[in-house]
Amino acid sequence: MDQNLNNYLAIREIVSDVMVILDDEDNKLLTPGFYRGKVKDALDELGFDIDFLPQVNDYLLPDDLMVDIPKGCFNMQGIQIYTGTPEEVGYVENVYWRKGVQTRGQGTGVSASVNSYNVTDPFFRVRVWENELYYFSVQNGIIRLSDACANFDYVRLTYSGIPSMNLDELKMVPRECRRGITDWVTDKCAGALKMRDARYRIIQLDASRSLDEFGFYGSWHLAKQRLLKLDKKKIKDVILYNQKLNY
């Protein structure tokens, strides 16, 4: 579901709900940092399962064709190179992952599971010149692009963002997930307190039952379903495309 980040809730709104449930409005039981940390943990757990925070960033192509994986990235979805600028994109090529590539950067040569031009291998012969291939490999957290990419100006990375590293605390929690996030944080916080007082075991059990983290009937599953739901505009367009079959 497409969302506007301005509709997101602040962390303090979730923390306030949990503190009331735990009767800890004065923070005598748990620190404010602990509460905020658990809200971020809940968002990250949700973000690892549901890509609700896609990121698209452009980077000037470096001379050595090595690009650091962006901070807060956990699932690369697309790499494109293009001429021009981000404000005026010219010619575009997709860059594909190539298995087993090892390189030290532009002009240093390449080894791979299947090497480019090879006419002597008794089992697998390839007749594709290296300057025709747009590909990448990842080594030690660095995206290494093939030499053929040097003719382009920018690289555009599309990836899933880790929520706690890409969102501000004042706009961090999707409204659709408020109930699920609150249950998740209550479960973890009550779990941290149950050794001090047995009554928190009951609170944890209630929160865990409402959450049903690994089931299909609780607030956690509901949050995922809401984030996955297509907007009506997209649903109508998918139906239209399937009817026409001419796209």
pLDDT tens digits, 204-241: 999 999 999 999 999 999 999 988 887 888 778 878 87
CB 201 within 8 A of CB 194: yes
CA distance 41 to 15: 13
Contacting residues for 4 by C-beta, under 8 A, at least 6 apart: none
Residue 119 burial by Cβ neighbours in a 10 Å radius (0-12, 13-18, 19+): exposed
pLDDT at 106: 77
Where helices occur in 50-140 by DSSP H, the ranges are none
Percent of the chain with pLDDT over 70: 90
Taking only Cα atoms into account, the Rg of the chain, rounded to an integer number of angstroms, comes to 24
> Do 64 and 151 reside in the same domain of the chain?
yes
> Do 137 and 225 reside in the same domain of the chain?
no
pLDDT tens by residue, 133-166: 798 988 888 999 988 899 999 999 999 999 999 8
User: Averaged over 50-64, what is the pLDDT?
Assistant: 92
User: Averaged over 85-95, what is the pLDDT?
Assistant: 95
3-state secondary structure of 98: coil
pLDDT at 176 over 80: yes
CB 67 within 8 A of CB 155: yes
pLDDT at 15: 96
Which of 143, 161, 179 finishes a domain? 161
Residue 129 identity (one-letter amino acid): W
Number of domains comprising the chain: 2
> Do 156 and 208 reside in the same domain of the chain?
no
* Reported confidence tier of residue 60, pLDDT bands at 50, 70, 90: very high
Which of 161, 192, 226 finishes a domain? 161
Name residue 75's beta-bridge partners: 160
pLDDT at 115 over 90: no
> Do 152 and 79 reside in the same domain of the chain?
yes
User: What 8-state DSSP symbol labels residue 176?
Assistant: G
> Do 47 and 67 reside in the same domain of the chain?
no
Which of 161, 184, 203 finishes a domain? 161
pLDDT at 170: 85
> Do 91 and 184 reside in the same domain of the chain?
no
CA distance 154 to 120: 36
> Do 78 and 140 reside in the same domain of the chain?
yes
* Reported confidence tier of residue 127, pLDDT bands at 50, 70, 90: low
pLDDT at 187 over 60: yes
Name residue 58's beta-bridge partners: 156
> Do 173 and 155 reside in the same domain of the chain?
no
pLDDT at 128 over 90: no
Containing structural domain, residue 207: 5-52+167-244
pLDDT at 7: 86
